[in-house]
Chains A and B, each alone.
Chain A
């Protein structure tokens, strides 16, 4: 009895705070993406402004994000029925966008206006929730070379 009520409490808490947190995070992402939209990103190694640029440096952005209890439970269910794992889709989207924004912030602080050769890497860092089956927290890192386009 005690165990099942604890489980339900965690599920409800996870749902409420998880959804709220996600909403706020997406809002702040949207705002900051708007703020740094002048910084151009490219995943190519060469760009027409590379030749006339005389200063370049490596910029990085990282973030570790975790699923909430409700979404983790939902993903276990989806694992049985199959189909789109919506809880991971939004988690990875949040992680990637946040990492890219942090990289852009670093470039902006150092006075650059473009980043080329952008690479984004995602890795699963095991946590205590790992036992329950599958990834629950992911690390995303974005890196690239910041330049000034003229």
Chain B
């Protein structure tokens, strides 16, 4: 599966469009990480726990998008966009979407 946020796949020709595919996941942080983050809020700097959490979640969202694209028979996803929104306090939604295409 080729992933790109361009409108075409470099070096390949698009032979078919399979439509919009997307993946999303909503994650909450667990209490241990929350506590560690509140300590970090005094000293400032990177919140590694959250970086990891969001990283994992985003990978999962991408995986869901790939699964959907595979079920449509596509072999590449173009024009990928990411978005993050905080739904309630302490939970974030990670959303990724793109266009599934067939390339040769």
- Residues of A bordering B, CB below 8 Å: 10, 13-14, 17-18, 21-22, 25, 45, 50-58, 60, 62-69, 71-72, 91, 98, 116-117, 119, 121, 123-130, 136-137, 139, 141, 143-145, 147
Contact = CB atoms under 8 A, between A and B. Distances in A.
B37 A128 contact: yes
Contacts of B5: 58, 117, 119, 143-145
A130 B34 CA distance: 13
B2 A57 contact: yes
Contacts, number: 137
Interface centre among A60, A69, A72, A98 (most CB of B within 10 A): A60
B45 interface: yes
* A-B pairs, 3 with minimum CB distance: A68-B44, A54-B11, A18-B44
B50 A67 contact: no
Contacts of B42: 10, 13-14, 17, 68-69
A101 to B, nearest CB: 12
B82 A13 contact: no
Given A66-B44, A143-B80, 11 more contacts: A54-B10, A54-B12, A62-B55, A63-B46, A64-B50, A98-B46, A117-B6, A121-B83, A125-B50, A126-B89, A128-B37
